[in-house]
Structures are given as structure tokens and as C-alpha cells.
Structure 1
Amino acid sequence: MFAGAQVSLYPMTDGFVDVIMGALSALDPWRDQLRIETDDISTLIVGPPEVLFPALRDLYAKAAATGEHVVLRATLSRGCPGEPDDPICQTNALANPEQPLAERQQEALSAIEAAPEKGQVADAQFSLYVMGAGDHMAEIMGCIDFLKHSGTFDRSKNFCTRLTGDAGPVFATLREAFCRFGPPQGHVTIDLTVSANSPSKR
């Protein structure tokens, strides 16, 4: 399987270089479990979901802790048929869709309850795309039902769902949505925006 994210961090400050470079240091504890490639547009982070999402959480939280208005944009994908399998992505985190939906939802909720808090608020909106064969709408609706009970659900919006809360549970919610819904060998993607310290909330 191939799993990863194309990530861009946008600080709304003249000191954007310091914010970005400081935030990238939060990836250091995860680097031996990930493949990380940066260019002038985005950073590719390849690895298993159980490592990928905590790394994104820490990257976001480090940038947000500066107090500056920052936005993290990411496109996450697993199982893309156009990408070769990568041994670094081996994982046992993906749920079997033959397992009843209610059981997968309950396991996802339990995982969120166990998520550590980071002391940094995360306001996020995301869309989940389940592609390939099978009843993709049943998987998406099952995910939405899970989100509404997650403790991080804020509201539904056009084309996406909004989450809010501590960055720990919010990124855990995103991880569970990514891993528990859709076939483990299928193509699943997430379009994600996370914002911190927005002046719109003041």
C-alpha cells in the first residue's frame, strides 16, 4: 500500500519563515518512520497512518503555538492505484469493511477517547472520498454518523464537515475517518484544512 500526504503550511505573518522552519522541527521524532520530501510548494510525507497523523498533529500544533494565524492544508491518500506499494507504509491500522459498521464506529470512538491532548485548539474542515467498488455512500454516511458522536464535531458544511477541539482528539478523529471507512485495499482520500488563531474568531 501507499499512504501519505501533500502538506503546505501558511503562516499569516511577516515572520513566516521562522514559523515554518520552527514547525518542521516537530517532525524530527517521526522522521525515522516516514519519508519526507520538500519542494517550493509542499512537503510530501509518506508513511503509515498511525505515524502520519500524529506527525501532522505535531507540525500543526508547533506552528499554532506561535500565536500567529496559521493554516495547514493537506491532501491525504491511501491505496492510490497510480502509486507503487511502499514498505514504509505497512500498517495494521486499517479496518476491515466486512466488520460491521457499528463495531468500526465504536472502535473509532474508543481511539479518540484515548488520544492525548496537545493544549492547542484546532479548527478543521475536511472531506472524505471513498473510491472504487462497493457502496461508497454507505461508508461515507457511516463516517459522518461517527463524526457526530466523536466529541470533535462542530457542524456539517457544504461539501465538508467541520471539527473543533484540542489538536490531539481532532487529528485522532481524522485518523479514524481515514482508517475505519472504505476498503483497506481501496483508494481513500481526505481534503483537509486546519486553522489556528484566526482573527475571524476574535
Structure 2
Amino acid sequence: MFSGAQISLYPMADEFVRIILGSLSALDPYRERFRIETDDISTLLVGPPEELFPAMRDLHVAASRNGVHCVLHATVSRGCPGEPDDPICTPIQGRTSDTPLAQRITDALKAAQGAEPTGQIVAAQLSLYPLGAGHHMDEIYGCIDFLKQSGVFGKSKNFCTTLRGDAGPVFATLGEAFLRFGSPEGHLALDLTVSANSPTSA
């Protein structure tokens, strides 16, 4: 299954070039398992779906260290029919199309529990788009139900849901939202914005 993300970092600091380029070293542990391409707009990650959110977590935490206000924006996708599968891409482990929604919510909560804290507090907002699914609203509502029980739920807003907390549990929760909802064989997209050290955080 083709899975990946286009990621852009926005540090609110005079040294933004140094911060962006320096934080890319946080992706070094993933390079053997990912195709990573950086240009003047974004960084592309293509590889195992289970490791996309840990990689984004490490990148964002690296860019946000020392109190820098930094925003990460990502478009994350799996199962895109317009992309050829690559040997570096792998199916989602342990997912079948007949797993009931309630069981997936339970499994997601269990998997996100105990995520290692990073010491970096973040706020995130996400929108989940199961594409081509006959019961896409069931999947979206199931994901929202999971997010509300996750321990990092912020609030529901028009067109998105917000999360707040340590980057470890927040990115673990985001990863489970990406992995557990929507058809395991179908195309799913997730739009994500994560902010750290905002001077206007509430």
C-alpha cells in the first residue's frame, strides 16, 4: 500500500533556515525505511504507514526545541490509486476490512495508551477524509469518538477536531486515527496542522 506525507515546517524565528535544515536530521533514523525528498516547499516521506507519525513527531519536536514557535503542516495519504505501490510501502499490520468499528476504536485507544512523552506540548487539528468509502461518515464519526476518549482531545470545530497535550501521546493518537479508520484497502487522506510554543495558546 502506498503511504506517505508531504510535510512543511514553519518556525516563527529569524533563524528559520537553520531551524528547518537542522531539524531534518531527526529523520535520519527513518532513512533506511523511507524515501525522503526535500525541496523548497516541503519534505516528502514515503514508507511504512505505522512509522509516518513517529517520524513527523520527531521532526516537529526537533524544530520546536528551545521554545521556538513552530507549525508543522502535513497532508498524509494511504492507498492512493493514482500512485504505484513501491517496495518501501507496506500494508497496515493487523487490519482487515471486517473488523467492526467499535473494535477498531478499542484497539486504537489501547495502542495509543502509554505513548512515551517528549516534554514538548503541542496543539493539533486534523481532518480525516475516507475516500470512496460507502459509509464514510460512519468512519469519520467513529474516529471522532476515538479522539474524544483519547485523553488528548481538545474540542470539535467546523471541519476539524483539535487535540492538545504532549507531542508523544498526541502524535500516537494521530497515528491511530490514520491507521484504524477508513477501509484498509481504500484511499484515505488526513489534513494536519500541529503547533508548538504558540504565544497565543489557550
Q: Report the number of matched residues.
A: 202
1:87-98 to structure 2, matched below 5 A, reads 87-93=87-93, 95-98=95-98
Residues 8 and 74 of structure 1 are in contact (CA less than 8 Å); yes or no, is this contact kept in structure 2? yes
The CA distance in 2 between the partners of 1:195 and 1:95, in whole Å, is 30
Q: Aligned-pair RMSD on alpha carbons?
A: 1.2
User: What TM-score, normalized by structure 2, do the two folds share?
Assistant: 0.96
Q: Which position in structure 1 is the counterpart of 2:69?
A: 69
Q: 1:42 to 1:61 in 2, by over 3 A?
A: same
The answer on 1:201 being equivalent to 2:179 is no
Unaligned runs of 5+ in 2: none
The CA distance in 1 between the partners of 2:97 and 2:196, in whole Å, is 34
User: What TM-score, normalized by structure 1, do the two folds share?
Assistant: 0.96
Residues 53 and 171 of structure 1 are in contact (CA less than 8 Å); yes or no, is this contact kept in structure 2? yes
Once the two structures are TM-superposed, the CA of residue 66 in structure 1 deviates from its matched residue by 2.8
The CA distance in 2 between the partners of 1:133 and 1:13, in whole Å, is 42
Unaligned runs of 5+ in 1: none
Q: Which runs of 4+ in 1 moved over 4 A?
A: none
Once the two structures are TM-superposed, the CA of residue 24 in structure 1 deviates from its matched residue by 0.7
1:59-138 to structure 2, matched below 5 A, reads 59-93=59-93, 95-138=95-138
Residue 182 of structure 2 aligns to a residue whose secondary structure is coil
Residues 2 and 79 of structure 2 are in contact (CA less than 8 Å); yes or no, is this contact kept in structure 1? yes
Residues 130 and 188 of structure 1 are in contact (CA less than 8 Å); yes or no, is this contact kept in structure 2? yes
Q: Which position in structure 2 is the counterpart of 1:10?
A: 10
Instruction: Report the AA paired with residue 88 of structure 2.
Output: I
Once the two structures are TM-superposed, the CA of residue 40 in structure 1 deviates from its matched residue by 0.8
Q: 1:190 to 1:92 in 2, by over 3 A?
A: closer
